[in-house]
Amino acid sequence: MTTPLPAAPVPAGGPVDTSPIALTPARGSDLDAIWSAVVPETRVRSNDIHLPVSLAYAERLCDAHPEADALLVRVAILLHDVGWGRVDESRIIAEGFTGDWRKAAIRYEHEKQGCEIAREVLPPLGYDDAFIERVAAIIDGHDTRAEAYSLEDALVRDADRLWRFDHVGIALASGWFSMDPATYCDRLRAEIVPELLTQAAIEMALASLARSEALLKTDVLR
Ligand SMILES: [Fe+2]
Ligand SMILES: [Fe+2]
């Protein structure tokens, strides 16, 4: 079952690790069969960077929230953006990162395609229909929906944002938005931190952002 979502920011009941994410890669090999099934879809929009880094953050968030269904969170974050692999690539930057990008048609399309891919790849790997529909419910609307439905949904949404606070996320996403790294870091602090739903994610984001800003010398390179 999914876990009801308390008011944000949700306090952590377990440990909160704010160390560099590279120190704690995603654990275990139980999801490797899913990874193998979506390799082509990871070759789009730097999903092969975004998804594993976000999975590592998702596992930290699950440690901070032992009451959450960790398998649901882990599978949903792994698959949430694979739908980008089935939309017109030329439209990703043209429509997906400009104007009111969260409401662009291509955003809805990548969510819909992601749900379809989950329903294709998970059944042969032994996941049951009820679990798959819970995964799809999180993928559906992960960018375009204003609110989270459950704690698991909230942890996926926070993990989806947290990778951007690491220097690798800043390197990729600042380019997508045609911003210099310092301006992008300012935007992360002003716009993305307030969107985070859990106290653990806020602490991880701010610690990572401080490290990234120092590393990238954003105080002078602006
Ligand atoms: Fe997405
Ligand atoms: Fe994402």
The pLDDT of residue 166 is 98
Q: How many whole angstroms from 81 Cα to the centroid of ligand 2?
A: 5
Write down the pLDDT at residue 127.
98
**Domain 30-215 falls under CATH 2.60.120.680:** no
Dist. CA 36–CA 89, nearest whole Å: 21
* Domain ranges for the chain: 30-215
**How distant, in Å, are the alpha carbons of 7, 57, 62, 64, 81 from that of 54?**
23, 5, 12, 15, 11
Q: pTM score, two decimals?
A: 0.95
Residue 101 and residue 86: Cα distance in Å, rounded? Answer: 18
End-to-end alpha carbon distance in the chain: 47
List, for the chain, all residue ranges whose pLDDT scores fall below the cut of 50: none
Would you state the pLDDT for residue 21?
98
CB 48 within 8 A of CB 85: no
Query: Which ligand has the nearest atom to the CA of 110?
Result: 1
In this prediction, residue 91 carries a pLDDT of 80
Centre of ligand 1 to C-alpha 199, Å, is 22
SS3 of 221, please? coil
Write down the pLDDT at residue 96: 65
> What is the pLDDT, as a whole number, of residue 57?
99
